[in-house]
Amino acid sequence: MKLTVTCDLTGAHVFPLEVSGDMEMENFLALCKLEIFALNDVPMSQLSIIHDGRTINVNENNLKKTLTDWKICDDDIIMLVADKPTTSSKQPRYSNAQISDLVKSIRVPQDNMRRENNEQRNNEVAHLRMLFDGLRNNPESRNHLRNVAPNLVAAVEQNNFVMGQFCSYVVPNNDSVEDMFKTQYFAERKSAFARERAMLDPTSAEGQRLIAEQIQRENIDFSHQFAMEHMPEAYIPVTMLYIKMKINGVEVKAFVDSGAQVSILSDSVAQRCNLMRLVDKRFQATVHGVGGAQQLLGKIHACQVQIEEQFFSCNFDVLANRDIDVLLGLDILKRHRCVIDLQNNCLRFGESAATYFLPDSEVPQRNLERFGTAHASTANVEVDSAKLASLMALGFEEAAARAMLIQCGNDVEAAAANLLARQSTL
């Protein structure tokens, strides 16, 4: 049978074992101690086994029992716990009633459900116990989570850290942050166990796939960190290029778009500039572009455009219900030999005129919102409290975890990887 053995809440010590069902508990524990360095010096009498929501206390009477005798099956998860040495102030063990509370609080699948449901139940029981033990034995983690999930911490602390009370609180059937945190925690631990087991055999197809994914993730994380350090401006929205100009004596703000084939005037600006009388309606049509289908009202063959102190003759297509008032396309830019000079932040019209691009404060607001929609959706990310709690449970500071979740768009795996990478470089 294949078993997954762990002794750590964080999953740092997780390894698979393939043993026979008739292996005695004494030999099984000896094999586990060889794999886990921290348990080498711990006597077997001070070890406990957590399996399927029950605690098996190791003693001379059960060391000779087999794994099958303890109802340990294929693909089960087992957690080894080293009991603290006996002192004058003993820590009370869980009573049978408390263990019964734990079992009752877990939703057990019906007998006719598939084997996968039983495996999921076993995983959830083990993870729930690991979560409880981690919060009970780590005051620092409890303090980190107190502001994010106060009810979860209270469920651990009340009634002298009773496991049954904790399980009764965190079972599903409500939409609280703590339930989301628990569900996500279980899913992440199950995925971590599966990856760990598959990667132990690098020659298998699944192991090769996971290794390739890990290498790809590391490369992406490296490029992300490199960009954040050397090119932080890549994550700042770029203001589109606008200039001031006058059409028929009326001042307007024009959007410079070298990717547009023709120059465009909105019908509202044409009316404001008193140019509707020059619209040739023989060119009416329905045009299709990036913004979808739009109504072309006609064409202005020539009108006077003033750039600084110089005048130029330009032609425009007039569109109805256009978001941008004026668009200078490639036809005008090529005709007047325009140069987009980004070094000097200006638009040059041949050798005769040049005008500076507008700063952010003068760009039309509706256009700024239109082009900044994608960035705004990322910048205004609302941090998922459950994911923040899971990062804090790993020991990260709340401020750093919150900032990284915003940066990664609430992708908790990417945020955790970036935080770990940052710690390793310190």
Chain segment 171-191, per-residue pLDDT in tens: 544 444 445 555 655 666 677
Q: How far apart are CA 276 and CA 273, in angstroms?
A: 8
Q: Mean pLDDT lowest for which of 162-166, 169-173, 183-187, 317-321?
A: 169-173
Based on the number of CB atoms within 10 Å of its own CB, is 388 exposed (0-12), middle (13-18) or buried (19 or more)? buried
pLDDT of residue 376: 44
Q: Mean pLDDT lowest for which of 30-44, 65-79, 125-139, 303-317?
A: 125-139
Q: Mean pLDDT lowest for which of 61-65, 75-79, 103-107?
A: 103-107
> Does residue 393 have a pLDDT over 50?
yes
End-to-end CA distance of the chain: 43
pLDDT of residue 403: 82
Q: How far apart are CA 71 and CA 251, in angstroms?
A: 84
> Does residue 77 have a pLDDT over 70?
yes
Confidence of residue 88 (pLDDT cuts 50, 70, 90): very low
When comparing pLDDT for 211 and 129, which is higher? 211
pLDDT of residue 328: 92
Whether the CB-CB separation of 7 and 36 falls below 8 Å is answered with yes
Active site residue 257: yes
Average pLDDT over residues 387-410: 79
Q: What angle do CA 168, 134, 53 make, to 5 degrees?
A: 50
Residue owning tokens 């110089």: 310
pLDDT of residue 333: 93
> Does residue 71 have a pLDDT over 70?
yes
Tokens for 7, please give them: 């002794």
pLDDT of residue 395: 72
Average pLDDT over residues 331-338: 92
Q: Does domain 1-84 have CATH number 3.10.20.90?
A: yes
Whether the CB-CB separation of 237 and 372 falls below 8 Å is answered with yes
Average pLDDT over residues 86-90: 40
Whether the CB-CB separation of 119 and 186 falls below 8 Å is answered with no
> Does residue 53 have a pLDDT over 60?
yes
When comparing pLDDT for 166 and 143, which is higher? 143
**DSSP letter for each residue of 83-127:** PPPP-SSPPPPPPHHHHHHHHHHS-PPPTTS-HHHHHHHHHHHHH
> Does residue 98 have a pLDDT over 50?
no
Which pTM does this prediction carry? 0.45
Range with top average pLDDT, 51-60, 220-229, 250-259, 287-296: 250-259
Active-site option among 8, 221, 257, 331: 257
β-strand pairing of 310-319 with 264-266:
parallel
The CATH code of domain 242-361 reads 2.40.70.10
Give 24's DSSP letter: B
Give 284's DSSP letter: -
**DSSP letter for each residue of 130-182:** HHHHHHHH-HHHHHHHHTT-HHHHHHHHHHHH-HHHHHHHHSSSS--HHHHHH
Whether the CB-CB separation of 328 and 336 falls below 8 Å is answered with no
Tokens for 32, please give them: 């586990």
pLDDT of residue 213: 85
When comparing pLDDT for 71 and 143, which is higher? 71
Q: Mean pLDDT lowest for which of 202-211, 247-256, 293-302, 310-319?
A: 202-211
Tokens for 65, please give them: 């029992």
Whether the CB-CB separation of 331 and 353 falls below 8 Å is answered with no
Given strand 54-57, what is the order of strands in its sheet? 14-18, 2-6, 77-82, 47-51, 54-57
Confidence of residue 300 (pLDDT cuts 50, 70, 90): very high
